[in-house]
Amino acid sequence: MIDSAALLVTGGAGFIGSHLCEALLRQGKRVVILDNFNDFYAPQQKRANLAAIERCATASSGELVTVEGDIRVMADVDQAFTALNLPPECCTVVHLAAMAGVRPSIDNPRLYNEVNIGGTLNILEACRTWRVKRIAFASSSSVYGNNKKVPFAEADPVDRPISPYAATKKAGELFCHNYHHLYQLSVACLRFFTVYGPRQRPDLAIHKFTRLMAADQPLPFFGDGSSRRDYTYVSDTLLGILGALRWLEQDLPRYDIFNLGEAQTVTLARLVGLLEQALDKPVVLNRLPLQPGDVDCTYADITKAQAVLGYAPQVKVEEGIPLFIKWFNSTSKGHLPPLT
């Protein structure tokens, strides 16, 4: 077993990536961030995330290098791999960078193809040419589409995606398996289930709803409120990623897929009620029809992740929503509180 001393985190200034980088720095790792700080949402939010990571680096025994670049540009990818600056057997990649979101992918499928498939292929090619043998790939629960069997298990068929975003994430898993087979790359594909918490992207439901409710504005409420999601607090997702990194440290080339969720579902109506309670504000709903590409339910079977990765999520949504609101209120005063 080789303990990776250097990790490249693509999308490291984003929501999940920023928390992961801080955790790795606290472990004394050399962390290389590759991020293009695009304007899918306000770049200043990612700059603020990066500032928090830099403070963490200063207070820890780890080292931080930031490469501002695009995974679609091979020269930028190579610059990031160069910055690892250690023998390849001491290095691991965590590939989080992607164009996210179901609805925007319907409007611009070519961009999602370029970033999520082409960019992932660039990262895999760089692993091959730089001889880095371990990668964790951020996939998504969206690959399950509208599977009728719940909870979703990793062995379930995922060949009927209902959005371009979902199709690109499944394609990424397939390319990862291809590189595992051809080049003995060890791969953990991690299917994230509706992650929320501090630093969450502002376009996602919990953050968007909180912002609108704080401003006394109506919420866009799609469907009858019965759609269900497996909301996963970011600290639990982080535990799963760290477990996958430990699994990748083992000697033999390996490939597997793991669900990282809370293994519980919450209806949209229940979510709004929890926000009302945490904010102590009534809500006004702008009722709208269901949107193309949205799934009816996400629900993770985490049996494999529990057994193989030691994954044990802790934060139920009834606790997580107040924690998110606490962070939201702090950021409105210009503070960036810690994850917990």
Give a yes or no: residue 318 inside a domain: yes
Do the domain assignments include residue 320?
A: yes
340 in any annotated domain? no
Cα angle vertex 283, ends 282, 287, to 5°? 155
The span from the CA of 102 to the CA of 164, in Å, is 7
Residue 339 lies in a domain: no
Phi and psi at residue 217, in whole multiples of 5°?
-110, 155
Tens digits of pLDDT across the chain (340 residues): 567 899 999 999 999 999 999 999 999 999 999 999 999 999 999 999 999 999 999 999 999 999 999 999 999 999 999 999 999 999 999 999 999 999 999 999 999 999 999 999 999 999 999 999 999 999 999 999 999 999 999 999 999 999 999 999 999 999 999 999 999 999 999 999 999 999 999 999 999 999 999 999 999 998 889 999 999 999 999 999 999 999 999 978 999 999 999 999 999 999 999 999 999 998 989 998 888 878 889 999 999 999 999 999 999 999 999 999 999 999 864 344 444 3
Give pLDDT, residue 248: 97
The total number of structural domains in the chain stands at 1
Residue ranges with strand state E in 141-251: 186-192, 195-196, 219-222, 228-229, 232-233
338 in a domain, yes or no? no
Rounded Cα distance, 119 and 104, in Å: 18
**Residues with catalytic roles:** 165
Q: End-to-end alpha-carbon separation of the chain, Å? A: 31
* C-alpha distance from residue 334 to each of 19, 328, 329 (Å): 18, 10, 9
**282 falls within a domain:** yes
Residue 332's pLDDT is 65
Question: Residue 174's domain spans which residues?
Answer: 6-331
In a domain, 302, yes or no: yes
CATH number of the domain within which 182 lies: 3.40.50.720
**Residue 336 within a domain:** no
